[in-house]
């Protein structure tokens, strides 16, 4: 039998590479967004809350800060809302900030009125701060330690154990 060796070896090689490449995609979420900010200084900002109070991140240096980006049209944000409502009483030394992402202040105010509010929610005109943080969807939560560094970014809703794990790290100078 006459075997075309180049075709055989080349073809099987290409097949193996291709299958390995396609297989490498399993277990990765193609929709995941890279976390550029972890390990870097949290971008400073000065914004005004829905209640009209100015908040500046630079003034909060030295305190652990949790910044949660959310909006009223996002279902997972609504899911994590009760947890975030409770959190400030559980971790009184941590500053919680909400930043409203791509939403209208009126809708946010109405939502907070009915859903409850325990910490300031900041209006982000033009999404500037969201872009500074590299937000690519909501909810996203940034954990800033006492040195002002982002030690973790969570894309998607957070859960109680995550807070319990990260807050002690944020307290460490």
Partner 1 sequence: MIFELCATSYCVEAASAGEPTASAEAPVDLGALPPPMFDPPAASDVEPLTIKIASRLRCPVCQGMSVSDSPSKTAVEMKGRVRELVAQGYSEKQIVDYFVARYTDWVLLEPTFADHWAVWVVPGLGLGLGLAWVASTVLAWRKSAESLPSDVGELPKDSYEERLLRELDP
Partner 2 sequence: MISSLGIGLVLAGLFFAAIGSIVGFVAGARRDAWLLQVARYMAYGYGASLISACLLMMYALLIRDFSVHYVSEVGSLSVPTHIAIISLWSSLNGSILFWGGVLGVYVIGMVASLRGRHPDHEPYAIGVLLAISVFFALLVASIANPFAPTELPIPLDGPGPNALLQNHPLMAFHPPMLYLGYVGMAVPFSMCAAALLAGRLDAGWMAPIRTAMLVPWTFLTVGVVTGGWWSYEVLGWGGYWAWDPVENASFMPWLTGTAFLHSAMVMQRRGRLHNWTLALGMATFLLTLLGTFMTRSGVFNSVHSFTQSDIGPVFLGMIALTFSSSVLLLALRSHTVMPSAAPPVSKPSSRETVMLLQNLAFASFTFTVLVGVLYPLVMEGWFETRVTVGQPYFDHIAVPLGTAIVFMMGVGPVLPWGGVSEAAAGRSLLPALGAGVVATVIAAVAGIHHSMVLLALFVCAFALAANLGEYTEPVGVRMKRGEGVFTAMSNVLARGRRRFGGHVAHLGVIVATVAIAMSSAYKVEQDAVLTLNQSTTIGAWTATSLGTHEIKESNRSATVARFSLTKGGSDAGVIEPRLNFYPRMMEPIGTPAVRSSVAGDLYVSLLHVDDAAGVVSIRIMTMPLVVWLWVSPLFIILGTLMALWPERRALASASVAPAATVESV
User: 12 or 41, CB closer to partner 2?
Assistant: 12
* Binding residue (CB under 8 A) for partner 1 from 70, 96, 111, 133: 133
| Residue numbers 36-65 binding partner 1 by CB under 8 A | 36-45, 57
- Look at residues 75, 70, 48 and name the one whose alpha carbon lies nearest to residue 142: 70
- Whether 100 contacts 71, CB under 8 Å: yes
Asked whether position 17 contacts partner 1 by CB under 8 A, the answer is: no
When the beta carbons of 83 and 151 are compared against partner 1, the nearer one is 151
Q: Is it true that the peptide bond before 139 is cis, omega within 30 degrees of 0?
A: yes
Which residues of the chain form contacts with partner 2 (CB under 8 A)?
Answer: 1-5, 7-8, 11-12, 14-15, 18-19, 21-26, 28, 30-34, 73-75, 104, 106
Distance CA 145, CA 151 (A): 7
């Amino acid at each position: 039998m006459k075997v075309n060796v180049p075709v055989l070896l080349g073809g099987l090689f290409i097949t193996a590479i291709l299958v390995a490449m396609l297989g490498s995609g399993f277990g990765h979420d193609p929709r995941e967004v890279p976390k550029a900010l972890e390990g870097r200084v949290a971008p400073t900002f000065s914004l005004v809350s829905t209640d009209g109070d100015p908040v500046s991140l630079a003034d909060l240096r030295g305190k652990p800060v949790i910044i949660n980006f959310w909006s009223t049209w996002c279902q997972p944000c609504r899911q994590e809302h009760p947890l975030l409502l409770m959190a400030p009483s559980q971790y009184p030394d941590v500053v919680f900030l909400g930043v409203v992402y791509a939403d209208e202040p009126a809708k946010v105010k109405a939502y907070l009125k009915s859903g409850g509010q325990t910490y300031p929610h900041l209006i982000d005109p033009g999404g500037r701060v969201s872009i500074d943080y590299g937000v690519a969807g909501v909810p996203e939560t940034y954990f800033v330690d006492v040195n002002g560094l982002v030690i973790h970014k969570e894309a998607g809703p957070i859960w109680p154990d995550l807070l319990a794990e990260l807050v002690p790290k944020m307290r460490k100078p």
